[in-house]
Structure 1
């Protein structure tokens, strides 16, 4: 029986201090546990002027394949417009995320992620790799949210679950379209996709995770971090962000580049598995989130990947593969122990 994405995380047990967020409503000063310095993360607080921006791509454009190829090679990220996701659904999902994070902490803790679990309320899973804590709270959904939602709203959980289920279905369909577009950008012919890609037949069946994120107003944002620098593990991520800035990506030779919200657009970024499949032609995106003093940032990320037992390797068209084959389950285990060094450990 195939391992589910949530089951793949069970071997990566966390301590409670790396799961439970702050009670942000009761905090008026930045606690020492959340004060970051350049010593904690080299050049963390540096930022280049906003002179660069990621590309904007129309999913229906005739030149979409070429635009995606250029965007993935240079940035590993792009804004996607005309994506087909109803904006009303996006707004509903954001509103329910706000509703969830607006609950008192003791209520949210009823849906706390277990130390060996992957779903529910808590801080970012990358927290143990850093000496300081992040100004962030999250809620992770893989499949149905009903078990945790019942803990939050015993009599009013159905609407939340219905909206999150619908959102995941729409995102899964969109992610598949984007995947096919990316394969075309990598010059994989439609007729030869199954043969050309080095993976099991179940590759086009997918695993996904929905991550609701909250970055409350921060009393000292210049010394805090919303989400520490990292890359995403799966094939690609589709992100909705509300009208509050905070997302930044790192570019060699440039520094941290802001990715401001674009009304009606979704942000698409490449993950580690796409970096492997593309044989390092498409970079996995090193990104972070910085907090804001006066505005509460919300975002919803959909992480898209293959089944956990699928074998991931560079496309067969690449005669000199840069990476050895790995299953998603193996990669999750590797990254849970080594974070950004995981890809290096897979290099041939």
Structure 2
């Protein structure tokens, strides 16, 4: 469950971490090795020289901030908007958000939404197209690095017209609390904006402004703050990719904290397959180190149903293990 109250540092360790950085313009064999290593050890990495124009990113962020600056009554008129209630089971957080289908047919309908910023449709469409291609490129590099003969094995699932990919804008307004509330190690009051979870889809491409907040947990009870890098995209492995790599890649749990001084906005592209897609590791992922499939095959529709039936922080992927 997402906890909309200050964190307690008495039972949690906070250790900053530097994520691996992958330059997509570097020599290809080195890029594939770095990506595979990062996915095995961290489940997260940053990509630079990603090819998405700065103007595309800046215009998208500008129109999104314009929307979140609107009066609450006006924002609530939009069915795509949510505030604090971030899950289907009453999960709560200090966040407001927009949740959009990230397929081209869906994006084309945004121009008909009267209370959206004037440039929203074109800017979000251009941005979504860019991050979708970036996600496909990264998934193909992953397949190549893993020795999967069909290098489109992963990316094909989000290239499909009926893919279930989504784009989510999370806006975390600054939260000012009383002095009696808990504080983090940097003496800045923090509350949980979006609680502990793993991403259920294949791959996430995350963009955030220059305000920190993302934390990942590589060990139980230890949270690692990740410094924001506006020049990079943060990429993380989703549950489905962990299954399709037979557990070689890890879908790491993470959360987002608010900032008491400045608004934070993140934009996440979640690459999801068609609902009827069968999620299973290719034969090459069965190795002497992993001599059998760790997860039984299932469809994305089946996994998505389980995801929405559980609380945010519950370990849903364990329900699909073979043993």
Please say if 1:60 is aligned against 2:17.
no
Whole-angstrom distance in 2 between the partners of 1:304 and 1:258 = 24
- Runs of 4+ more than 6 Å apart: none
Equivalent in the alignment of 1:69: 36
Q: Is 85-94 or 246-255 further displaced after alignment?
A: 246-255
- After TM superposition, the score normalised by the length of structure 2 is 0.84
Please say if 1:329 is aligned against 2:301.
yes
What pairs with 1:307-318 in structure 2 (closer than 5 Å)?
307-317=274-284, 318=286
Q: Structure 2 vs 1, CA of residues 288 and 193 (structure 1 numbering), >3 Å: closer, same or farther?
A: same
- After TM superposition, the score normalised by the length of structure 1 is 0.78
Q: Is 299-308 or 69-78 further displaced after alignment?
A: 299-308
The two structures, once aligned, show a CA RMSD in angstroms of 2.6
> Of the candidates 202, 209, 212, which is equivalent to residue 245 of structure 1?
212
Unpaired runs of 5+ residues, structure 1, are 1-17, 19-32, 114-119
> Of the candidates 100, 124, 134, which is equivalent to residue 93 of structure 2?
134
Unpaired runs of 5+ residues, structure 2, are 178-182, 184-188
Equivalent in the alignment of 1:218: 175
Equivalent in the alignment of 1:170: 130
Secondary structure of 1:83's aligned partner: coil
Higher strand share: 2
Secondary structure of 1:263's aligned partner: coil
Whole-angstrom distance in 1 between the partners of 2:110 and 2:15 = 45
Q: Structure 2 vs 1, CA of residues 251 and 308 (structure 1 numbering), >3 Å: closer, same or farther?
A: same
Contact 1:239 1:266 in 2 (8 A): yes
> Of the candidates 246, 254, 258, which is equivalent to residue 287 of structure 1?
254
Equivalent in the alignment of 2:77: 110
Secondary structure of 1:54's aligned partner: coil
Whole-angstrom distance in 2 between the partners of 1:44 and 1:136 = 25
Secondary structure of 1:111's aligned partner: coil
Whole-angstrom distance in 2 between the partners of 1:75 and 1:208 = 23
